[in-house]
Structure 1
Amino acid sequence: MLTVWPWTAEMLDQWTAEVRPLLAIDGNPALWPSERADRIGLQQINSRLSTYRDALGLGPGLDFHSLRRSYVTHLIEDGWDPLFVQQQVGHEHSSTTAIYTCVSSDFRTRTLRRALDQTLHHALQPTGGIS
């Protein structure tokens, strides 16, 4: 997974230096160990996320897979090439990646404003051909 945001490397550094040593059993190479097993499993992640989600009063539609959809959306909103994003998440078809993308209304507004500004700029340029 690409670490595209400036804070990502710092957070991973903190995890590996401060938190992981508290959980990892000697000789366990897992980056995400569990206090009860060699590795954190999907069921454990989903269970913990559900507990937090419910405690915060968030809807049941928020699941671990939502983080994957958010990753795709944030990459698109940050201007990464859609083909790159598609390859990043391992989708065979761009239509699958498009389903994952739920850009914000602010992003849609900025994108439309940029397109309209560019169109207006080109429309107001003198053509120089007809006198």
Structure 2
Amino acid sequence: MHTQRNYKQQLETMAHHLAEMGLKDWSQVDAGWVRQLAGKGMREGMKASSLATRLSSLRSFFDFLILRGEMSANPAKGVSAPRKKRPLPKNLDVDEVNQLLEVSEDDPLAVRDRAMMELMYGAGLRLAELVSIDVRDVHLRSGELRVIGKGDKERKVPFSGMATEWVGKWLRVRGDLAASGEPALFVSKLGTRISHRSVQKRMAEWGQKQSVASHISPHKLRHSFATHMLESSNNLRAVQELLGHENISTTQIYTHLDFQHLAQAYDQAHPRARKRSDDKSD
């Protein structure tokens, strides 16, 4: 009974809209009218789920009219309610990033953790990409990093002066922890490649230790990288390339961005691409 009442209510509402728009009967309805109806619902603040119910009722009603021979086609087919947008994770502002990254401790684990966070924010890496980096993938002198992204796609990205400095510091003490023959850049206390969960846990702990208000996660650092780069450079294509997004192959058909171009855009825009003169972390 509840479903029948709801269905009847939906049709009465739509009949009212039909009259408002000067249409005399349902046979005059076309896809444009259905889209207008959906747009009106959105402007009035209707939830996506409620709008989907309205459109579903309309499609069923038109199917009924087609069976009765009163309509030849269903104008509501192909018109769907917009999907509920997933909220983007909140990014850190530059001051919060600086507060997080003021890790001055010099024990190997602290050096490792700062190097990981500097690299995550400095190169906009995914967590899986950070964990999978081998020592041979890092080129400190040129500030280049070889990354294997989604779908085993390889890309080369520049990384910031601060990240270069701290990855260098980590490499100098890495031997204190790494097992013999271990290729991973970042290792755990056991000497083997660090796990995803350990990175997440350590970053969250550093966020609390550094009194950063926001919860710190690897994805939040990547999102902050993208946001700050876009704010500074307004170069969406370069940021897409640096992040290794799937649609970059399509973008490259029209815009051929070579590594020099990317590195130049990066150096001009990234807030930590140059070491600050007052840095006292040595």
Q: Normalized against structure 1, the TM-score is what?
A: 0.57
Partner of 1:24: 178
- Residues 1:43 and 1:79: Cα distance change in structure 2 (over 3 Å): same
Q: Deviations over 1:71-112 (max 9, x none)?
A: 212322442731121122122359xxxxxxxxxxxxxxxxxx
> How far has the Cα of 1:33 moved from its partner?
1.1
Output the CA distance in 2 between the equivalents of 1:36 and 1:80. Answer: 43
Aligned residue pairs: how many?
Answer: 93
Q: How does 1:28-107 map to 2 (within 5 A)?
A: 28-59=182-213, 61-79=215-233, 81-92=235-246
**1:15 aligned to which of 159, 162, 170:** 170
After the TM superposition, which parts of structure 1 deviate over 6 Å for at least 4 consecutive aligned residues? Answer: none
- Residues 1:77 and 1:4: Cα distance change in structure 2 (over 3 Å): farther
Structure 1, unmatched stretches of 5+, are: 95-131
Output the CA distance in 2 between the equivalents of 1:8 and 1:80. Answer: 23
Quote the RMSD (CA, aligned, Å): 2.5
- Residues 1:14 and 1:22: Cα distance change in structure 2 (over 3 Å): same
- Residues 1:39 and 1:91: Cα distance change in structure 2 (over 3 Å): same
Output the CA distance in 2 between the equivalents of 1:80 and 1:31. Answer: 32
Identity over aligned pairs, percent: 28
Output the CA distance in 2 between the equivalents of 1:21 and 1:40. Answer: 14
Output the CA distance in 2 between the equivalents of 1:7 and 1:56. Answer: 18
SS for the counterpart of 1:48 is helix
Q: Deviations over 1:41-70 (max 9, x none)?
A: 110011112222234444464322111112
Structure 2, unmatched stretches of 5+, are: 1-144, 146-156, 249-282
Output the CA distance in 1 between the equivalents of 2:241 and 2:220. Answer: 18
> How far has the Cα of 1:30 moved from its partner?
0.6
Q: Which has the higher contact order (CA 8 A, sep 6+)?
A: 2
Matched, 1:5 2:142: no
> How far has the Cα of 1:29 moved from its partner?
0.7
As a proportion of its length, which structure holds more strand?
Answer: 2
Output the CA distance in 1 between the equivalents of 2:211 and 2:166. Answer: 26
Larger Rg: 2
- Residues 1:35 and 1:63: Cα distance change in structure 2 (over 3 Å): same
Output the CA distance in 1 between the equivalents of 2:162 and 2:227. Answer: 18
